[in-house]
Chains A and B, each alone.
Chain A
C-alpha cells in the first residue's frame, strides 16, 4: 500500500477513535434557562414549583454544589432549609433570611463550607420574581410559603434577567449611589454633605463597625439597632427600608460598603 495512504488511514483511525471515545461517555447539553412565567395570581404551590425548576435546572444550577436530600458535594443539603431558615439569623424571618442568603451568600455561609456562590450574580441572572420563586421553593422544604409576587416584582422583572434591564440605581460610585438611595434623608455623612437626623450618624461609621457589619446593616437594618441617633435613641424597629439587597446590584452594594468602611 502507498505510504501516504497508510499515513492517511492511520490519521483517520486516530481521529475515529477519539470521536468514538467522546461519544461513549455521558452526553450532556447545557441548555439556556427557560423564561419562568409568573404573575401576582400565581399560587404559593405553583410559585414553589417554578422555584424548584430554577433550583434543579440549569437556570439556577444550584444542585451542582448543593444537595437535595443528601449532603451536596460542595454546599449544604437544601432539604429542610425552609424549617431551619428562621433560626439561622437572629431577627430575620425565614423569607428574609433565604432572600438575603440568595443575594448576598457570602454573608451567610454555613459553618464547615466555603463561600462558592459569591460570583453567581443571581441578582442579574434571575428576575426579582424568579428570586421570589426560588425563595418560595426553599420555604416549601420544611416550612411555610410566605413569599408573594407583587406588581413591583413583575415591573422590575419585565426589564431584567438575562442581559439585565438595569438596576434601580444607575450610579457606579458611592457619591452617586448614596444620594440616589435616599440615605442623606435620614443619615449624616459629612463626606457627602448629608445631614439627616433620623438614623445614626455615618460620618465615622468605620470606627465602630467592620465592613461585614455595615453590609449586614444595609441588607437587614433590624439585625443590630444602633444605640444613639442624633436626636436621641434610635428607633426600634428600624424604619430603614429592608430591601436594599434587591435594589442595589451586588457590585453597587460593595461600592457603598467599601466607601462607608473607609469613613474612620
Chain B
C-alpha cells in the first residue's frame, strides 16, 4: 500500500507542477485577453479565509520539507564523520528515518501549493495576472526547479542503501542531499521574490507599474529591498522549525514507547531535534532585526505602521511566544541535567537563570506605543505608559533579547559539560575566561542599552549592532574554549537516555506548536503591513476584503491553519509508523551510551 502511496505522490507532484505551468500559460494569455473580473468570491468562508488557509498550510509544509532535509543532511554528515561505526550508523538511521517522512509531506506540500495557485487565479485574477506579468521567467523556471527537487529527493531517499557501503559512495549520497537542499533553497528564494515584491516593489516604472529597465527591471523586482532579509530569515527559521518538529515527533514516540530501548532512542532524537531548533533560534532575532531595518529603509511609514501603528500589539503576542520558546527550550535543558551523571552540580544555578529569563521576557513583552484614542492617550498622559513606557523602547528590548540568548547559551554550556570533568591543566583559567567573556558581553549589552536612552535615535539604532556582535563573539569564542577544555574530558558516568520525565516531552510538543503558531503570526504581520495594497503603493486592493483584520481574527485563522497542519503531520507520522511495521524496521536504533551532547562521545578515562 505504501509503495503505491509513494508512487502516487510522484504523480501528484507532477500534476501540481504541470498545473503550475498551465496556469502560467493562462496568466500570460489572460493579460492580453482582458475582460475578466478583478475578484471572485469563495463560498461560505469567503476569499480571504480560503486563500489564507491554502497559503499558510502550504507555507508550513514548505517549511517542513525544506527544514527537515537540512536536519537530515546535517545528521547524515555528522554520522559520516563519527567513529566508531555503531555511532555512525545511529546518526545515519536517524537521518534516513526523517527522509522517509518527507516523501508524504512533499506531495502534501505540492497539493496545497496547487490549491493555493488555483485559488489565486480564480479569486484574485487581476493581482495574480499582474504578478505573472512581472515574474514570467521565474514562473516558468519554478516548476522545473520543483521537478529538480522531487528528483533529488527520490534519489536521496531510495538511493540510501545503494549509495552506502564505502566512504566514497556515502559522500556521493551526501552530495545528493546537498543538491536536494540547494533545489529547495532556490525554490524558496524564487517564491520569496514574489511575496517580497508585494511588500517592497522595485524594478518597475512608477507610472505604469510595469517592469522597466530604467528602474532595474526583473532583477531589481526579484532583488527588492526585503528579498534577501526574508530569504535569510526563512532559511534559518526553517532549520529551527525542522528541529522543533523532529523534537515533537520524538516526544510523541517517546510517550508511546514500550521499551527502554525505544524510550532511549526517542529521548536522544528529541534532544537532537531540540538542539538543532536552538541553533536555529539563536540567530533568528538578528535576522529579524535586519528585515525590520530594511523595511524602515524602504519606507519609514511602513516601518512605523508595523511597529507603532495598528500592528504594534502584534509584537506583544510575538514577545509572549518567543518568551515561551526560550523558557521551554531552557527548561528542557535543565530537565536534561537530571539524566546526566554529574548534572546535579549545576542545578543550583537554574533559579538564577529562570530569574534572568523571566525579567527579560517581561521587558520584551512591554508595549511602547499604545494604540489609543486621543481621549485615552490624554488620560494616560501620552501615548506612552508613564512607568512602563521606558521599558518598551528598542534600547530595553534589544538588551532583553540579547541577554535571553546569552542565558540560553549558558544553559547549554552547563548541560554540555554536566557529564564531564575536564582534565587539562589550564581548566581553571579556561573556565574563568568563559565567565569573564559572558560577563563582559552582558556588560556591553546592558551598558549600551542604558546609554541608548541618552543619545538620539539614529545613534541608538547603531548600538544594536555592537550588542549583537558582543553576544555572537561570546558564543563563538566561549564555544572554542569549551571544545578545547573538554576535548579529552573524563566522563562522570553514562548518559541515561530515556530517563526523562514525561513533562519534558510535553515541553518539546509545546515548542513545536509555538514555533508553528509563531510562523503563522509572522505571515500575518508580513502581509498586514501592506494594509489595503496588493502591491504596496502600486496596486490597491479594491475587494470587499481590503482591510487588515484584527489580531483576534488573525489568531483564529492562524490556529485553524496550525491545527490543519499538525493534523496532517500527525497523519504523516502515522503513515510512517505503518511503513516501519511493513518493513520490520520498527526496532529503533540504540541511543548512544555515553554522550553529553550531539557530538562524538568523550573519551572515557583519558
Contact = CB atoms under 8 A, between A and B. Distances in A.
B344 interface: no
Given A4-B256, A68-B374, A116-B301, A30 B555 contact: no
Contact of B310 (A21, A30, A32, A120): A30
A170 B205 CA distance: 10
Contacts of B316: 25
A3 B256 contact: yes
Contacts of B252: 3-4, 7
Given A25-B316, A73-B369, A32 B546 contact: yes
Interface in A137-180: 162-164, 166-167, 170, 172-173
A224 to B, nearest CB: 29
A25 B548 CA distance: 16
B168 interface: no
Given A30-B547, A64-B308, A124-B537, A11 B532 contact: no
A19 B520 CA distance: 12
Which of A30, A31, A68, A117 is packed against the most chain B CB atoms within 10 Å?
Answer: A30
B509 A23 contact: no
Given A28-B550, A114-B457, A3 B255 contact: yes
Interface string B400-415: 0000000000000000
B492 interface: no
B539 interface: yes
Contacts of B555: 18-19, 21-23
Contacts of A118: 300
Nearest to A11: B513
A119 B304 CA distance: 11
A70 interface: yes
Contacts of B136: none
A6 B503 CA distance: 12
Contacts of B541: 32
Interface string B304-329: 11001110010011001100000000
Interface in B371-388: 371, 374, 377-378, 382-384
A118 to B, nearest CB: 6
B98 to A, nearest CB: 19
A65 B383 CA distance: 10
Contact of B321 (A18, A25, A119, A251): A18
B605 interface: no
A22 B317 contact: yes
A22 B457 contact: no
Interface string A117-140: 111110011000000000000000
Contacts, number: 149
B553 to A, nearest CB: 8
Nearest to B534: A163
Contacts of A12: 563
B162 to A, nearest CB: 35
Contacts of B509: 7, 10-11, 14
A27 B311 CA distance: 10
Interface string A226-262: 0000000000000000000000010100000000000
B298 A114 contact: no
A12 B317 CA distance: 18
B537 A121 contact: yes
Contacts of A18: 317, 321, 517, 555, 558-559
A173 B552 contact: no
Contacts of A10: 506, 509-510
A119 B302 contact: yes
A18 B310 CA distance: 19
A21 to B, nearest CB: 6
B226 to A, nearest CB: 14
B151 interface: no
B540 A163 contact: yes
B32 interface: no
B384 A32 contact: no
Nearest to B372: A26
Which of A6, A7, A125 is packed against the most chain B CB atoms within 10 Å?
Answer: A7
Contacts of A4: 252, 256
A22 B552 contact: yes
Nearest to B212: A172
Contacts of A167: 207
A125 B532 CA distance: 11
B531 interface: yes
Contacts of B310: 28-30
Contact of A14 (B209, B510, B547, B551): B510
Contacts of A119: 298-302
A73 B546 contact: no
B549 interface: yes
A170 B251 CA distance: 62
Contact of B513 (A14, A65, A162): A14
Given A27-B550, A124-B537, A163-B540, A15 B562 contact: yes
Interface in B280-303: 298-302
A108 B135 CA distance: 39
26 contacts: A7-B509, A19-B555, A19-B556, A21-B317, A22-B551, A25-B551, A27-B552, A28-B550, A29-B310, A30-B528, A30-B532, A58-B531, A61-B305, A61-B309, A64-B308, A70-B377, A70-B378, A114-B457, A115-B300, A116-B304, A119-B298, A121-B537, A163-B540, A164-B207, A170-B207, A172-B205
Interface of B: 205-207, 209, 212, 214-215, 251-252, 255-256, 298-302, 304-305, 308-310, 313, 316-317, 320-321, 369-371, 374, 377-378, 382-384, 457-458, 506, 509-510, 513-514, 517, 528, 531-532, 537-542, 546-552, 554-556, 558-559, 562-563, 566
8 tightest CB-CB pairs across the interface, nearest first? A22-B555, A32-B532, A119-B299, A30-B548, A23-B552, A27-B550, A162-B540, A28-B310
